[in-house]
């Protein structure tokens, strides 16, 4: 099973890139973040011809997540369980494919909106941790993947890309991310590439791509049995060099068995 996550920064702008990616890579699931549109605006036609259907959790202008799938999926959640507030933020979608529960998430950046904006980011991470604990208690096989807007360690961002108080690296951010991981989850990229400098995002500004001034902020967290079935991780870096790219690149997992 192949599962890819990609923050596309507007699906309407990026539809040709996504279609090309689907044709070339044929993932079983493509988890999209920042689609920036309402469900009725989602460009389904361009993907249906490639054999993919969509589940869309969208809103006007901002945020928004979706899952593209070939085989039917069961929809479990359209908001993050336990996140009471969720004030008009389309940031979570959970489906099941082949007995694997897949949570697709777009975590708040946390640098805007002052204390409230940052607090919402921490609340999201806390709710995600509780949800992970519940899934573990239910003995589920699951993946929580997407744009976490968290650089977990100092090896996960290039020099001079982030200020010391940036919401992507502040101590409470990392503590909340670690608390999630330490429920017993595995960071897929780090499981297979523990020491390499790897990034999944390069800002549009200041020549970040040309200088390789990137961040590793897109993650796949795996439950224990799924971690044992992890065979490969691919960061599709070449997407960033294409014309009119997203600032994030796709990240794919290959999972053994149950296919």
Partner DNA sequence: ATGCCGACAATCTGTCGA
**Most distant CA atoms of the chain, gap in Å:** 47
Output the smallest distance, CB 12 to DNA, in A.
Answer: 4
Judged by DSSP in three states, 147 sits in strand
Among 34, 123, 156, 187, binds DNA (CB under 7 A): 34
Tell me whether residue 138 is exposed, middle or buried, using C-beta atoms within 10 angstroms of its C-beta: 0 to 12, 13 to 18, 19 or more: exposed
Token pair of 249 as six digits: 């690149």
CA distances from 251 to 28, 52, 72, 130 (A): 13, 18, 22, 25
The SS3 of residue 133 is helix
Binding residues for DNA restricted to 83-102, rule: CB under 7 A: none
Assess 238 for contact with DNA (CB under 7 A).
Answer: no
**Number of residues binding to DNA, judged by CB under 7 A:** 24
**Least Å distance between CB 177 and DNA?**
17
Q: Rounded to the nearest whole angstrom, what is the least distance from the CB of residue 248 to DNA in the complex? A: 9
Q: How far is the CB of 9 from DNA (least distance, A)?
A: 5
The two structure tokens encoding residue 83: 């996140």
Q: Which one of 48, 60, 71, 256 is in contact with DNA (CB under 7 A)?
A: 60
User: What's the angle, vertex CA 201, arms to CA 188 and CA 59, rounded to 5?
Assistant: 95
Applying CB under 7 A, the span of 47-55, 78-86, 198-206, 220-228 interacting with DNA comes to: 198-206
* Closest distance of CB 244 from DNA, Å: 5
Binding site for DNA (CB under 7 A): 9-10, 12-13, 34, 36-37, 60-63, 108-109, 111-113, 117, 160, 204-207, 210, 244
């Amino acid at each position: 099973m192949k599962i890819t996550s990609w923050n596309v920064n507007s699906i309407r702008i990026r539809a040709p890139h996504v279609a090309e990616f689907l044709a070339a890579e044929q993932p079983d699931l493509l988890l999209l973040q920042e689609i920036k549109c309402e469900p009725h605006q989602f460009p389904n036609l361009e993907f249906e011809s490639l054999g993919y259907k969509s589940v869309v959790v969208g809103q006007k202008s901002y945020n928004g997540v979706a899952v593209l799938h070939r085989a039917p999926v069961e929809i479990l959640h359209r908001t993050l369980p336990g996140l009471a507030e969720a004030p008009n933020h389309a940031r979570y979608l959970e489906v099941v494919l082949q007995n694997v529960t897949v949570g697709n998430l777009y975590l708040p950046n946390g640098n805007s909106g002052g204390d409230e904006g940052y607090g919402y980011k921490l609340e999201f991470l806390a709710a995600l941790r509780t949800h992970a604990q519940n899934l573990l208690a239910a003995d589920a096989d699951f993946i929580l993947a997407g744009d976490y807007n968290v650089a977990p360690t100092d090896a996960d961002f290039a020099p001079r890309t982030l200020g010391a108080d940036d919401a992507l690296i502040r101590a409470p951010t990392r503590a909340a991310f670690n608390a999630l991981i330490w429920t017993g989850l595995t960071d897929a990229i780090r499981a297979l590439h523990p020491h390499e400098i790897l990034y999944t995002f390069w800002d549009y500004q200041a020549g970040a791509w040309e200088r390789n001034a990137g961040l590793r902020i897109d993650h796949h967290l795996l439950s224990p049995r799924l971690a044992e079935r992890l065979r490969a991780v691919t960061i599709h870096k070449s997407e960033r060099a294409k014309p009119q790219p997203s600032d994030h690149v796709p990240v794919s997992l290959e999972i053994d068995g149950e296919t």
